[in-house]
């Protein structure tokens, strides 16, 4: 069983396609550090092996270092999904902790600030991402570049793939999910070429390794159900709610039985 822990809905960026509609969050409705520690301890005590720390932007959480430390000290395979915010500074301050991450997924939609920043609604987005990647490579953390693709960003993919080659990173191609802020996107204009065609084109020009998101992080309950049934993935949101059919599994165990399903 694998757990996606969405530790905050807060985010410093405003991506037009965000399926989670992340942004400014009311932290009064989010779990405390103590509650997240209890959840992580319970995951470990039940014999599960991995947690994926995500958001929102997880590095906006005021206790992100304590959460990462708690998961890693319990021996859980701990991974992150981030836009890069504060990672360079924190990895320099806590190099031993960061070196123990199993994997980091960093979001990157373009190989230049103009397109990337515009898509993500934040002028510092590109610098944060590149600085984070460089800092993580310095402490030998494996990298997956996560690129959310729409028609207007397809032309960026070959350059992103070449960048992945240069740093020995894998590439995740994320198709737009028409949930959250993505509901405002015209589906016919969102993605007019198949993922298979994109991968074929990338392989014709690069030796990049294209991978699927191994953590199956989504917010749509139907997809949560699918990934729970196929891969044993449970997603817990920032308020402690368990998404999709994962609640049925949880209710048969003692973990999080005080929390309710989304």
Domain ranges of the chain: 2-251
Reply yes or no on whether the pLDDT at 106 is more than 70: yes
Per-residue confidence band for 249, with pLDDT thresholds at 50, 70 and 90 = low
Reply yes or no on whether the pLDDT at 91 is more than 80: yes
Per-residue confidence band for 134, with pLDDT thresholds at 50, 70 and 90 = very high
Give 98 or 175, the one with higher predicted confidence.
98
What Cα–Cα distance (Å) separates residue 93 from each residue in 70, 81, 135?
17, 19, 11
CA distance 146 to 100: 21
Over residues 127-153, mean pLDDT:
93
What Cα–Cα distance (Å) separates residue 247 from each residue in 36, 48, 150, 219, 222?
17, 16, 33, 14, 13
Q: What is the mean pLDDT of the chain?
A: 86
What's the pTM value of the predicted model, to 2 decimals?
A: 0.90
Over residues 29-52, mean pLDDT:
91
CATH class of 2-251: alpha beta
pLDDT at 147: 94
Angle separating helix axes 33-45 and 64-73, nearest 10 degrees: 20
């Amino acid at each position: 069983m694998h757990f996606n822990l969405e530790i905050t809905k807060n985010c410093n960026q405003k991506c037009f396609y965000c399926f989670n509609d992340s942004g400014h969050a009311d932290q009064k409705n989010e779990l405390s550090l103590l509650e997240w520690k209890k959840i992580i301890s319970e995951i470990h005590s039940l014999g599960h092996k991995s947690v994926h720390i995500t958001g929102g932007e997880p590095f906006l959480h005021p206790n992100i270092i304590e959460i990462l430390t708690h998961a890693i000290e319990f021996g859980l395979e701990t991974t992150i999904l981030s836009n890069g915010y504060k990672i360079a500074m924190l990895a320099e301050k806590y190099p031993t902790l960061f070196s123990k991450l199993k994997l980091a997924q960093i979001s990157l939609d373009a190989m230049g600030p103009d397109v990337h920043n515009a898509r993500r609604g934040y002028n510092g987005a590109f610098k944060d991402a590149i600085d984070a990647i460089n800092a993580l490579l310095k402490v030998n953390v494996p990298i997956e570049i996560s690129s959310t693709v729409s028609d207007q960003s397809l032309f960026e993919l070959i350059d992103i793939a070449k960048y992945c080659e240069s740093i020995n990173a894998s590439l995740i191609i994320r198709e737009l999910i028409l949930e959250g802020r993505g509901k405002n996107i015209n589906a016919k204009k969102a993605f007019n070429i198949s993922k298979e065609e994109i991968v074929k084109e990338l392989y014709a020009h690069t030796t990049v390794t294209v991978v699927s998101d191994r953590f199956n992080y989504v917010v749509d309950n139907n997809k949560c159900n699918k990934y729970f049934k196929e891969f044993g993935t449970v997603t817990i949101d920032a308020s402690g709610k368990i998404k999709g059919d994962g609640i049925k599994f949880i209710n048969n165990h003692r973990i999080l039985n005080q929390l309710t399903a989304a």
